Amino acid sequence: MIIRSELFKEWGVVHGVSTKNYGNMSYDRDKTGKAEENLRRFLARLDLNLDEISLLKLPVNNTSNVALISKFQKKGRIILHEKSREVVDLHKFDKKSGFDACIGFSQNTYLAILPADCAPVMLFEPNTGYFAMIHAGAAGVKDMIVAKTIFCMKKWCQINPQTLISYVGPNICYNHYKIEGQSYNIAGAIKGQLLLAQVLEKNIEMDTHCTFEDEHLFFSHFRAVKKEDEGRQIAIIGRK
């Protein structure tokens, strides 16, 4: 099973969030040596071959920084960093290293994150073909990373927010996301930022899965007993 957006299907956007049946997607947390096999199997279901595409993993660090990338010449799984030559612009909204949102345009270049409870937020602008992936955890959302990404898309790509299509993927729900003893509605906060940035409500799709409750489908950081053994989903977006 792959989790996908109904809105994106209409526009032919290649995207998806893996589920547990594809296995752990984290090379760092994989003790079985099957992370690459799992990734290739997942990509094959999207009709993608890792040897023929550039799959760019964002250097997430719970920042609100946003990057713009150009086409990659290399193929395969690539971990981005701030000094990657394909990073053509970087808006450092805070002093942390890395960036948790990335904007792309090129065909066969796919943006990816490995969430476990945080929300993967995907954006697509059908008139220009620009797309974005956002790692939206509590820290980034509190620092307005979703609104900041749309600001950068307006600045760098001259897009109109009212034509953006947005998909907020599976994430931990309010009942189980507690920070310093306080429940946090990450999905509600993300939707609020999308609306604040002038994305039309009809163009926003909110996935209703909870990564904590739907144990048969998702890995969860908050649910894991042994943190060193917890797995990760993969969320990707791009264009063929």
Q: How far is 59 from 172, CA to CA, in rounded Å?
A: 21
What are the residue boundaries of the structural domains of the chain, listed by start? 6-238
| Beta strands 66-69 and 101-104, pairing class | parallel
How much of the chain is in helix, strand and coil states, percent to nearest 5?
25, 25, 50
**206-226: pLDDT as tens digits:** 999 999 999 999 999 888 766
pLDDT tens figures, 34-66: 899 999 999 999 999 999 999 999 999 999 999
- Quick one: pLDDT at residue 32? 72
- Region 3-26: what's the mean pLDDT? 93
CATH number of this structure's domain 6-238, picked from the four choices 3.90.1150.10, 3.60.140.10, 1.20.1050.10, 3.90.600.10: 3.60.140.10
What's the mean pLDDT in 164-177?
95
* CA dist., res. 71 & res. 73, Å (int): 7
3-state secondary structure of 90: strand
CA dist., res. 230 & res. 193, Å (int): 30
* Contact assessment for residue 106 and residue 71, using Cβ atoms and an 8 Å cutoff: yes
User: Given this model, what pLDDT does residue 12 score?
Assistant: 84
Q: Which residues contact 10 (CB under 8 A, 6 or more apart)?
A: none
The 3-state DSSP class for residue 136 equals strand
pLDDT reported for residue 85: 86
